[in-house]
Amino acid sequence: MDFLRPSTLEEALAAKSAHPDAVPIMGGTDVMVELNFDKHRPGALIDLTRVPELARWGPDGDGVRLGAGVPYTRIIAELGEHAPALAQASRSVASPQIRNRGTVGGNLGGASPAGESHPVLLATDAEVELASVRGTRRVPAREFYLGLRRTARQDDELITAVLLPRPAGPQHFSKIGTRNAMVIAVANFSLALDADKRTVGTGLGSVAPTPIRAEEAEEFLAGEFDWDGGAVLDEAVVRRFGELVSSVARPIDDQRGSADYRRHAVGVMARRALSWSVTDYRKSLQDPRGDARCA
């Protein structure tokens, strides 16, 4: 097994193109588990931690371009205003030691249906930047997850960044697990309201072979939400929203939870995220300067 150590993005892309089977390693928090237990022995590892471009974030148009190799700890510390739901999701990942190393790029590379960043990227309509020696392209997160751990990334491509649109309304993330730390989600959920476009985004994790959206629930809520006044929603609307979210789940029974529980839990999380979002939205109308929309 070879250990390749590119120090520029160009070298990294050339290495991936020359060895499409080589396994990129960033934080290593997924890759090393496989290697330590000899589940998988690739021909080569490509260490991406030396590629400076991947470890940076900065403005991109209205939003933020987050390098694929920025660890969760930095997302929490530095991106709370630019990407509130992603920062919340990052806080819920594993433990401090894992968050110091683990990255969104690695989360997308493994594409576990339970991964914490996926519901947020779906709900906020983020894009995934993929690069190869052939060029760079941006794929909407909503088109990135194709099947169980299967994504739009081609074998010769690396994930270089995610593009996070400027928050234009409340965003929330929540996760259910058996402990407050160190758990793979039984189910997770993200909600993002876009007050400019008057649209709603959702993302559900651990309830289907891939992270998914609840499109009918999004459309329903976009129509019912009081975008001008932020009026508290009817109990029936909140309940219906939760039901529509639950209805798209196609969960399985496993050691972490039953399918029925997951379907139920994701509906409860959806209702809670909605009530937090209404509260945030009302606050932002009263005090527009304290609003995420202006952040």
Partner 1 sequence: MRVTFTVNGEQVSADDVWAGESLLYVLRERLGLPGSKNACEQGECGSCTVYLDGVTACSCMVAAGQAEGCEVRTVEGLADNRGEGDEKRLGTVQEAFVEMGAVQCGFCTPGLLVQTDDLISRTVGAGRGVPEDAEIREALAGNLCRCTGYEKIIDAVRVAAERESAKAGGAA
- Binding flag, residue 18, partner 1 (CB under 8 A): no
Stretch 78-107 residues interacting with partner 1 (CB under 8 A): 94-98, 100-101
Identify what 133 binds: partner 1, ligand FAD, none; CB under 5 to 8 Å per kind. none
Distance CA 126, CA 197 (A): 15
Question: Long-range contacts made by residues 222-226, C-beta under 8 angstroms, separation at least 24?
Answer: 222/198, 225/193, 225/198, 225/200
**SS3 helix, strand, coil % of the chain, rounded to 5?**
40, 25, 35
Identify what 93 binds: ligand FAD, partner 1, none; CB under 5 to 8 Å per kind. ligand FAD
- Binding part of the chain for partner 1, among 24-32, 56-64, 157-165, 167-175 by CB under 8 A, reads 24-32
Distance CA 214, CA 221 (A): 11
**Cβ nearer to ligand FAD, comparing 181 with 285:** 181
Identify what 3 binds: partner 1, ligand FAD, none; CB under 5 to 8 Å per kind. partner 1
- Binding flag, residue 221, partner 1 (CB under 8 A): no
Identify what 148 binds: partner 1, ligand FAD, none; CB under 5 to 8 Å per kind. none
- Binding flag, residue 44, partner 1 (CB under 8 A): yes
- Label the pairing between strands 187-194 and 199-205: antiparallel
Judging by beta carbons within 10 Å of its beta carbon (0-12, 13-18, 19+), is residue 182 exposed, middle or buried?
exposed
Distance CA 163, CA 128 (A): 6
In the list 36, 228, 229, 236, the residue contacting partner 1 (rule: CB under 8 A) is 36
**Cβ nearer to partner 1, comparing 166 with 256:** 256
Dihedral angle of Cα 196, 193, 232, 282, to the nearest 10 degrees: -60
- Binding flag, residue 243, partner 1 (CB under 8 A): no
Under 8 Å between Cβ of 17 and 133: yes
- Which residues are at the interface with partner 1 (CB under 8 A)? 1-3, 5, 25, 27-29, 31-33, 35-37, 41, 44-45, 47, 49, 73, 94-98, 100-101, 180-182
